[in-house]
A and B are shown apart, each in its own frame.
Chain A
Amino acid sequence: MKKKLLLFSLFAATVFTASAQDAPKADPPLVISGSVDTYFKYDFSKHRDPSTGYSNIGTSFANEQNSISIGMIDLGLKKKVGKAAFVGELAFGPRGQYQSVPNSPNGDSFHIQNLYVSYDLTDKFTLTGGYMGTFIGYEVISPVGNFNYSTSYLFTNGPFQNAGLKGTYVFSDKASLMAGIFQDSWNSYQSTFDVSSFGAQLFLSPVKGWTAYLNVITGSVSGTEFDITTAYQITDAFKFGVNAATWSAPHDGGGFSGVALYPQIAASSTVSFGLRGEYFKYKDGGPSVKAFTLTSNIKAGPLTVIPEVRLDRWNTDEFFKDSDGFATKKASQFVLAAVYAF
């Protein structure tokens, strides 16, 4: 009897021990994420282009005058099994289609923002290939990734996507280096001639809270852009960002340069304010513009409400119209956007 009791106890102990030791490492789940965004925009000059319905300040998105408009439905899929991963990101709506991605030769949109695969050759080195959002610049296409709803001139004039093959080596959490070969044309599903652009990014985090990206992309078709993107979370409440870039078109065909500053302050856990001050100039004696954007982010869980006012002033009157339809150097607008991230 005692023997049976002892045997049962040992058996049970083994079962319990085995269950405690069984802790297999599972692959991360399939991740479905994305956003939807919608907005109202009003240009204080009331100018409205009769053919497009656009107002004065024509950056990448949110261009319609006195209109409740849609941005996009953005859907991202990501899955990693072992060392191999894929990302597919689709977007539907003006922001996610003709305003940010190229069309096929017959005009259809593929709706693809990102489509690539990656493989971790080692713990520190990853190869990634496919069609990817650009590594250049401070602002991005997705409204979730930007503090301001309207975009900067640096963003509008830089690349949106760079298809290619890149390798990323992570030295530590303070430094990494990416280098790769990319399509000769920016924002294109296929090359114009070949895959002959070279791109690189050096990531540094010298102190806690400070990140800096030094970027370059150069090629005979799309020219050469040098870009610095840096941000410092100085305190829990205050963050300061800077983006500076210069682009030269191939064959001395001009270019642009600019700098944008992004001070942001969190008034509470749900309300933040940010100011973007930008100076942008076309090279070779081209026009220049100063743009000031004051934005607030008001968060309610996954929903962010973004009220924003913006004032742009060019050194020429060729771009804007006043309320009477006459050329003017300055324009101002109000935007109220809502972005739901999931």
Chain B
Amino acid sequence: MDGYLYFMKKLLFSAALLLLIQTAWAQKDLQVDENNRFVYYEVVDKPGVSTDTLFQRGMVFAKKAGKSTAPNSITTKGKFTVYASSLASKKDAGEISYVLTIDTKDQKYRYKFGTFIFKPYRFDRYGSMSAVPGVEIDLERMASKYGQKDTESYLTQAAEYCKATAANLKMYMDRAQIAKKADAPKKVATENW
């Protein structure tokens, strides 16, 4: 009985520890840096992996995203659409552009999403939603223009996008196997049995 209880305690502790680690990996919110700018930032340890190796892996990821720069530091840009709830569906509310920086050191790397800029959309002459020309708002100033509720929604969507992109980046940095296409169904001969 004592052995059983000991085993269950260890099992629950392991599960709780793993859950905590997973939650720490999956940051839900944006953070604020020393300059009071929104960022999504993490330092990742990679024991046994050199700076050059991490840099090369980061370059593979950045090339896929379209940009690359200086030794041991990669800067790339991107953007994503954010949505607002409309009467009957989600509606394109705007797009948020960002700068992603990947720095590599011996046995570790860090990434930082920052310089978030929001471009609002409006209904255009072609019946579609498109960016309002000339209007760009730093994410830090959004609350003053769009109200708390909309701002929180956009910040949440930004954090979710960064989380998903960071997970993709980690796959490249881990050199984890990218999901292959599903294998074709196995053929069987049914005539001879």
- Output the least CB separation between A75 and chain B (Å): 9
How far does the alpha carbon of A89 sit from the alpha carbon of B19 in the complex, in Å? 48
A88 to B129, CA, bound (A): 12
CB contact under 8 A between A34 and B123, given known A5-B10, A12-B14, A78-B128: yes
A239 at the interface (CB under 8 A from B): yes
Q: Using A29-B83, A76-B127, A208-B136 as known contacts, say yes or no to A20 and B91 having CB atoms under 8 A apart.
A: no
B11 x A8 contact (CB < 8 A): yes
Q: Give CA–CA (A29, B14) in the complex, Å.
A: 39
CB of A145 within 8 A of CB of B125, answer yes
A312 to B143, CA, bound (A): 41
Tally of A-B Cβ pairs under 8 angstroms: 116
Instruction: Determine whether A319 belongs to the interface, using a CB cutoff of 8 Å to chain B.
Output: no
- CB of A228 within 8 A of chain B? no
A-facing residues in B129-173 (Cβ within 8 Å) = 129, 133-136, 144-145, 163-165, 167-168, 170-171
B1 proximal to A (CB < 8 A) = no
Among A12, A134, A210, residue most surrounded by chain B Cβ atoms (within 10 Å): A12
Q: What residues of A have a CB within 8 angstroms of the CB of B91 in the complex?
A: 31-33, 342
Q: Are B18 and A13 in contact (CB under 8 A)?
A: yes
The answer to whether A144 touches B122, judged by C-beta atoms less than 8 angstroms apart, is yes
Tell me whether B176 is interfacial, beta carbon within 8 Å: yes
The interface bits of chain A over 217-251 (1 if a CB of B lies within 8 angstroms of the residue's CB, else 0) are: 00000000000000111000001000000000000
Q: Taking the nearest CB of chain A, how far is it from the CB of B160, in angstroms?
A: 9
With A5-B14, A145-B122, A231-B133 as contacts: A87 and B127 at CB distance below 8 Å? yes
**Which residues, 83 to 106 on A, are CB-close (under 8 Å) to B?**
87-89
Complexed CA–CA distance, A100 and B14 (Å): 68
Q: Closest chain B residue to A19 by CB distance?
A: B22
Report which of B19, B25, B90, B127 forms a contact with A29, defined as CB distance below 8 A.
Answer: B90
Give chain A residues whose Cβ lies under 8 Å from the Cβ of B83: 29
Closest residue on chain B to residue A341 by CB atoms? B123
Q: Is A35 touching B123 in the complex (CB atoms < 8 A)?
A: yes
Q: Does A133 reach chain B (CB closer than 8 Å)?
A: yes
Cβ of A287 under 8 Å from chain B? no
Q: Check if B90 sits within 8 Å of A31, measured CB to CB.
A: yes
Q: Is A326 an interface position by the 8 A CB rule?
A: no
Tier of interface size on chain B: 35 or more
**Interface residue? B43 (CB, 8 A):** no
Point out the residues of chain A lying under 8 angstroms from B21, CB to CB. 16
* CB atoms of A30 and B89 under 8 A apart: yes
Residue B192 lies at the interface, judged by CB distance under 8 Å to chain A? no
A231-B10 CB under 8 A given contacts A142-B123, A144-B122: no
Q: Is B115 an interface residue (CB 8 A)?
A: no
A135 to B21, CA, bound (A): 53
Known contacts A1-B3, A16-B22, A232-B134; is-contact A133 B89 (Cβ 8 Å): no
- Given A31-B92, A87-B127, is A20 in contact with B11 using a C-beta cutoff of 8 Å? no
With contacts A8-B14, A20-B25 known, is A211 near B126, CB below 8 A?
A: no
Q: Are A78 and B176 in contact (CB under 8 A)?
A: no
Name the A residues within 8 Å of B25 (CB-CB). 20
Question: A23 interface residue, CB < 8 Å from B?
Answer: yes
Neighbouring A residues of B176 by C-beta, 8 Å? 21
Interface centre among B3, B86, B123, B144 (most CB of A within 10 A): B123
From A29, A135, A145, contact of B89 by CB (8 A):
A29
A31 near B127 with CB under 8 A, answer no
A interface footprint on B81-104 (CB within 8 Å = 1, 0 otherwise):
101001111111000000000000
* A13-B171 Cα distance, complex, nearest whole Å: 15
- Please list 18 pairs of residues, one from A and one from B, whose beta carbons are closer than 8 Å in the complex, sorted by A's number: A8-B14, A12-B18, A21-B171, A28-B81, A31-B91, A33-B86, A76-B128, A87-B127, A114-B126, A114-B127, A114-B128, A116-B126, A140-B125, A142-B125, A145-B122, A145-B124, A208-B134, A239-B134
Nearest 6 A/B pairs, CB to CB:
A89-B127, A233-B134, A114-B127, A23-B164, A133-B125, A211-B133
Chain B residues within CB distance 8 Å of chain A: 3, 7, 10-11, 14-15, 18-19, 21-22, 25-26, 81, 83, 86-92, 122-129, 133-136, 144-145, 163-165, 167-168, 170-171, 176
Q: What is the interface of chain A, defined by CB distance below 8 A to chain B?
A: 1, 4-5, 8-9, 12-13, 16, 19-21, 23, 28-35, 76, 78, 87-89, 113-114, 116, 132-135, 140-142, 144-145, 205, 208-211, 231-233, 239, 269, 341-342
